[in-house]
A = this chain, B = another copy of it.
């Protein structure tokens, strides 16, 4: 479904969002996105921004309103949202909120192949991961706290709170996984180590 949109890069959503407040030129968008901290939530890079702006213009969601010049700086093309752009923005955002998307996090991929590593090493790696997860958690926690302390309403931090919730869930999962491997009674370690190497994972049936 998402793939029917004329512009699918999420960076475009942020652009539509900012242009819905006022017309801007691409560099201004770029700066605003960075200052606002949106790059934590939306993959951003300079080149892609110009690409996306071009796509949006071609799709009719934004139009060039003027090309001004300030001081002796190069010309800047200022874009504004069109009515279709506003509709697209609302609709797209609504869809993203209402419909979960199937995604492919790296850790899921790794887990799906993890039997290829020996269990001892896996435990080691998972412990390392736990450390990183804790650090990340602390960082997000700090970001939230200092931002709230500046008086920003919690509403503008929900994405960080969501991240935090997912992080906590992942931490529990990893801890539990380590336990399942290492439990002296029922641990998978021995069977895993034995099987390891000669045979691959058995096929799974479709539902």
Which chain A residues have a beta carbon within 8 Å of chain B's beta carbons?
Answer: 2, 10, 13-14, 17-18, 20-21, 35-38, 40-43, 89-90, 93-94, 96-101, 103-117, 121-122, 125-126, 128-129, 132-133, 136, 139, 142-143, 146-147, 150, 152-156, 158-159, 161-163, 165-166, 168-170, 172-173, 177, 180, 188, 191-192, 199-207
A-side interface mostly: helix
Select one of B103, B128, B158 contacting A98, CB under 8 A.
B128
For A36, list chain B residues within 8 Å (CB). 201, 203-204
Whole-angstrom distance between the alpha carbons of A110 and B16 in the complex?
A: 12
Interface pairs A-B: 10 shortest CB-CB = A169-B169, A96-B110, A111-B159, A41-B112, A98-B125, A97-B125, A112-B159, A98-B128, A37-B204, A21-B200
